[in-house]
Structure 1
Amino acid sequence: MFTKRLYFENAYIKEFDARVLSCEEGKNGYEIVLDETAFFPEGGGQPADQGYLEDGEVTDVRDKKDYVLHICTKYLEPGSMVHGKLDWNRRFLHMQQHSGEHILSGIIHRTHGYDNIGFHMGKDFVTVDFSGLLTEDEIAEAEKMANTVVFADERILAEYPGKEELEKLEYRSKKELDGDIRIVTVPGADVCACCGTHVKRTGEIGPIKVTSSEHYKSGIRLTLQIGWMALGDYDRKQRNVKAVSNLLSAKPEEIGEAVQKQLEQMQELKQENITLKQRIFDMILKETPEGQEKAVLFEKGLNSVEVRRLADMLSSRAGLAAVFSGSDSEGYKYVVCSGDKDVAALGKLMNQELNGRGGGKNPMIQGSVQAEERMIRKFFEELY
């Protein structure tokens, strides 16, 4: 079987008619082969097209070398003529992203000599992996150069050069290729072997924005927003900026400074809170008589570190010090300390009797219990 690939001739074909060569039921739907198709199969980092064959939904498209396999929700009679319709919005987004990636990858290869070693076109963003590291300034410069190419509205060419011409041509390729090689050229930016679909002119790509970068293997991974997806990303971030601006009563361009002031104030309040709690802990310690057998204390609003610190302080006054913080409805976190009692065994008993989790080794255990305060107090009263 052989499928003519219409998307190589014209990536802008949205609808077409074709003959069904075969149709067999598979694991994920009916597997259909046509004599020609405008549906692009997954390949080279670009996802497969989706759409319809008649009123059957095409959920996936796969490249089988000589033919293209369409995964469809409806059985189509072999030999019949069918009408195909692409999900054009999805396809065009892929064309924008693929063409935009070519431009940025070509520029980084030309200016820094790095190869594109990984490309993934996701639902919400594009990632590209390069074989070397880039500084933030270098990334910003490459992004600026890429958008300059977009604004120039250059024509993107997709051609099959002859053998002699191909041997003289310098082009990017991720792997060794044989047979007819399709070369995609973006003037001033990139020359690359590629089987994907692209826009006709760079002006159709829209903005190219690097939104983040991270070290990946021995190089760098860039996350990109391109075309309509970039505008969608900008809209989401703009709404967030507006919301933060309103919450802070600050102009959008001043929210960074406003957040910094909030963080400084929070740090001051945090330090004040630590100081006040230490005073409370000191007062509790003074009010706890020395030499008592046990001290079971409930204090609201303590974090795990504070619970432990208070229990440790109380253990200098009592044979057993137990500190709980929480509520009857949500449970209590605890720390129990003792220099002469087996608190490890106590922890196991608490887990059984008080629906607890946690434990530890003598002289300290910690964890949480799902029980009311009165039940916890009763447990310690009956035990000691």
Structure 2
Amino acid sequence: MVVFACQRDSFQKEFSTTVVSCKPAVVKNDDSKIDVPCYEVICEDTILFPEGGGQPYDLGEMNGVPVLKVLRRGAEAVHYVEKPLEEGAPVKQVVDWKRRLDHMQQHSGQHLITAIADATLGYSTTSWWLGEDVSHIELDTNKLTQDEVDKLEASVNEKIREALPVYATVLKDGDPALDSSRTRGLPKDHIGEVRIITIAKVEANMCCGTHVSNLAELQAIKLLGFGKGKKGKTNLLFLVGGRVLSRLDKMYKRELELNLLLKNGPDSHTMLVDKLIKSNKAINKNLQNALKDCASLEITKFKALDPKPKFFHHCRKEAEMDYCNFFIREFNDPEVLLFLAIGEGAEGHVVLFGPPDLLQDVGPKVADILDGKGNGKGNRFQAKVKDLKALPKAVKICEAACHASAA
């Protein structure tokens, strides 16, 4: 195993080394999955951590050239950069320290949570994920309780307050000390020495990642909750260090906004929001009842027409689908093509009711004109649409079809 500079000293932010090789390459963008033309650079050493051990790769610069990604290939760290670098020339590497510190905190925090969960609850960690916003560990149990989570959170934060040292050692393959170290197995291409991360008085764990040097540097750990994982497993979500402060800052700003909106302090937020929800439900129910009364009047006026038209169009932007169902039940005339539209803005729903043969013809056309998808059966066709602004055009299509049918 080659131990890189980033593993010997994870707090080193700048490093000078030499370019060994540089050649054209492509690398996939993590977000778009599109191949990006770049250059593959290998140096004598690196402070830019290559992806591994569940920890994402570092970002940074080499001689001012942005580093897009760093991956491990056997004993080499392969840097993918935007521009070529001269082979044999000196190069200054600068790590994106904000990203590195965040990864160190989450990774060391994961080691601590894993160790304490195993020691106090008897739940081993089968995998973990360092996400961009929230990380999680997968525990080998489907019986985790909130009480256990609360006790685990208290225990890991107690260890942080003890300010226990964290340090790395490198052991030769076959060293008896490896028998007492925790691991889920080494990579298939691993050869040579093994790196151990030790949290004093807590655990020793085989790991290639970058870590803090003292648990005090984790600041705090917040366990956010848990949910069902793979078969028989549970995912435990967590934040460490800077992510705890960042989440608290967002929550505090949101609390201030709610104070202004609700005109009261945070202790009253739940009560006031519950009151608003109930009030809104009551108002909406009254609105829908009033709309149904209006619908009855519209239907009565239509049925009084003599002669009675073969087409009737009605739109209520405030209404819901229950309103359409009520309207159709009250209208109850399958010989007339009924065109109902509901929805705010450009999006909404349309419902057609009438002669089945006519619906088979105009239904798909109306859905197409209004940029929607629909289906129908018997006397009814309905569609969810994205362009209610084109409603006049759809109405004309239906009117023309009714005239043609009557001719």
**Does the alignment reach a TM-score above 0.5?**
yes
- Give 2:291's aligned residue: 277
- Give 1:160's aligned residue: 170
- Give 1:375's aligned residue: 396
- Give 1:205's aligned residue: 218
Counterpart amino acid of residue 242 in structure 1? L
In the TM superposition, residue 9 of structure 1 has moved relative to its aligned partner by 2.0
**Cα distance in 1 for residues equivalent to 2:263 and 2:311:** 48
In the TM superposition, residue 270 of structure 1 has moved relative to its aligned partner by 2.6
User: SS where residue 39 of structure 1 aligns?
Assistant: coil
Contact 1:154 1:201 in 2 (8 A): yes
User: SS where residue 111 of structure 1 aligns?
Assistant: helix
Alignment of 1:122-133 (within 5 A): 122-133=131-142
**Cα distance in 1 for residues equivalent to 2:368 and 2:91:** 68
Counterpart amino acid of residue 223 in structure 2? V
In the TM superposition, residue 341 of structure 1 has moved relative to its aligned partner by 6.3
**Cα distance in 1 for residues equivalent to 2:210 and 2:178:** 24
Question: Could you say if the C-alpha distance between residues 376 and 307 of structure 1 is closer, same or farther in structure 2, counting changes exceeding 3 Å?
Answer: farther
- The normalised TM-score by structure 2 is 0.82
User: Could you report, residue by residue, the CA deviation over 1:207-246 in whole angstroms, capped at 9, with x for unpaired residues?
Assistant: 2112242211121222322111221121112212221221
Question: Could you say if the C-alpha distance between residues 7 and 331 of structure 1 is closer, same or farther in structure 2, counting changes exceeding 3 Å?
Answer: closer
In the TM superposition, residue 328 of structure 1 has moved relative to its aligned partner by 12
User: Could you report, residue by residue, the CA deviation over 1:55-114 in whole angstroms, capped at 9, with x for unpaired residues?
Assistant: 222222121222222222232222222222212221111111111111111111222332
- Give 1:150's aligned residue: 160
Contact 1:106 1:191 in 2 (8 A): no
- Give 1:363's aligned residue: 379
- The normalised TM-score by structure 1 is 0.87
**Cα distance in 1 for residues equivalent to 2:250 and 2:360:** 52
Contact 2:334 2:355 in 1 (8 A): no
User: Could you report, residue by residue, the CA deviation over 1:244-273 in whole angstroms, capped at 9, with x for unpaired residues?
Assistant: 221111202321121111111122223323
**Cα distance in 1 for residues equivalent to 2:369 and 2:18:** 73
Between stretches 105-114 and 345-354, larger displacement belongs to: 345-354
**Cα distance in 1 for residues equivalent to 2:213 and 2:127:** 24
Question: Could you say if the C-alpha distance between residues 222 and 352 of structure 1 is closer, same or farther in structure 2, counting changes exceeding 3 Å?
Answer: closer
User: SS where residue 271 of structure 1 aligns?
Assistant: helix
User: Could you report, residue by residue, the CA deviation over 1:181-217 in whole angstroms, capped at 9, with x for unpaired residues?
Assistant: 2222223544321111111111111221122422111
- Give 1:247's aligned residue: 261
- Give 1:324's aligned residue: 340
Aligned match for 1:223, one of 232, 237, 243: 237
Aligned match for 1:60, one of 69, 81, 84: 69
Between stretches 56-65 and 40-49, larger displacement belongs to: 56-65
1:140 corresponds to 2:150: yes
Contact 1:143 1:210 in 2 (8 A): yes
- Give 2:8's aligned residue: 9
User: How many residues end up aligned between the 2 structures?
Assistant: 381
Alignment of 1:282-321 (within 5 A): 282-289=296-303, 294=310, 296-300=312-316, 301-315=318-332, 317=333, 319-320=335-336
Counterpart amino acid of residue 263 in structure 1? I
Contact 1:337 1:343 in 2 (8 A): yes
User: SS where residue 62 of structure 1 aligns?
Assistant: strand
Counterpart amino acid of residue 245 in structure 2? L
**Cα distance in 1 for residues equivalent to 2:117 and 2:50:** 28
Contact 2:66 2:81 in 1 (8 A): yes
**Cα distance in 1 for residues equivalent to 2:328 and 2:47:** 72
**Cα distance in 1 for residues equivalent to 2:86 and 2:365:** 71
User: SS where residue 298 of structure 1 aligns?
Assistant: strand
User: Could you report, residue by residue, the CA deviation over 1:30-65 in whole angstroms, capped at 9, with x for unpaired residues?
Assistant: 222222222211101111112222222222212122
CA RMSD of the aligned region, Å? 3.1
Structure 2 gaps of 5+ residues are 27-36
Alignment of 1:92-107 (within 5 A): 92-107=101-116
Contact 2:356 2:380 in 1 (8 A): no
